[in-house]
Amino acid sequence: MSMLGIGLGNVGKVDTEGGLLVLQTSQNGKTTYVSFSFAVTNGVGKDKKTDWFKCVAFGEMAERMVNACVKQGSRLQITGNLTLNSYEKADNTKGISPSIRILDWKYAGGLSNGNASGGQVNNTAQQEAEAGSNSNASIPFADGEEMNLDNLGDDDLPF
């Protein structure tokens, strides 16, 4: 069973020193990917519950996550295909392991930092643009295309 889902949560365990995502290559050497656990917490007080998902991103999406320095603890909004895999536990009962193939993602803020409209964005391209080290300030989009902000005129604005 596979369905499209959107989740807001935190990157969990990452098996690298320093907790940064690391680009890996498939056994046949043709596909690059990253994988990590992802925690989504819902509810409050004693009704608070955390669900864990195994996430994987491939190719350019994986490279984008590594280049943006996604690491353990990063708060992300992800969109992807959710698959529920059944397995047999050690006590011979059935369990379900949810996994998500990431189709898109972005850094997300959170109420935990007191900022309801979003937290700090840790995006390398945006930081370079703000620092002035990128002469053609541009913002990367999910499809890899960039919008040049230097040539933006009043007619290009939607308001």
Most confident segment among 60-74, 112-126, 127-141:
60-74
95: amino acid identity, one letter = G
Supply the CATH number for residue 88's domain: 2.40.50.140
Q: Exposure string (b/e) for 4-34, b if CB count within 10 Å is 16 or more?
A: eeebebbbbebeeeebebeeeeeeeeeebbb
3-state secondary structure of 25: strand
Q: Which domain holds residue 140?
A: 123-153
Q: What is the pLDDT at residue 158?
A: 43
pLDDT digits (tens, 9 = 90+) for 34-60: 999 999 999 999 999 999 999 999 999
Q: Is 115 inside a domain boundary?
A: no
Q: Is 146 inside a domain boundary?
A: yes
pLDDT digits (tens, 9 = 90+) for 2-25: 666 777 888 987 877 678 999 999
Q: Is 16 inside a domain boundary?
A: yes
User: Higher model confidence: residue 128 or residue 46?
Assistant: 46
Say what the pTM is. Answer: 0.63
130 and 57 both lie in a single domain: no
Structure confidence at residue 65 as a pLDDT band (50, 70, 90): very high
Structure confidence at residue 80 as a pLDDT band (50, 70, 90): very high
Q: Is residue 84 pLDDT above 50, yes or no? A: yes
3-state secondary structure of 48: coil
71 and 137 both lie in a single domain: no
Q: Is residue 82 pLDDT above 70, yes or no? A: yes
Average pLDDT on 97-111 reads 85
Q: What is the pLDDT at residue 1?
A: 54
Counting Cα atoms < 13 Å in the Cβ hemisphere of 138 gives: 9
Q: What is the pLDDT at residue 56?
A: 94
Q: What is the pLDDT at residue 12?
A: 87
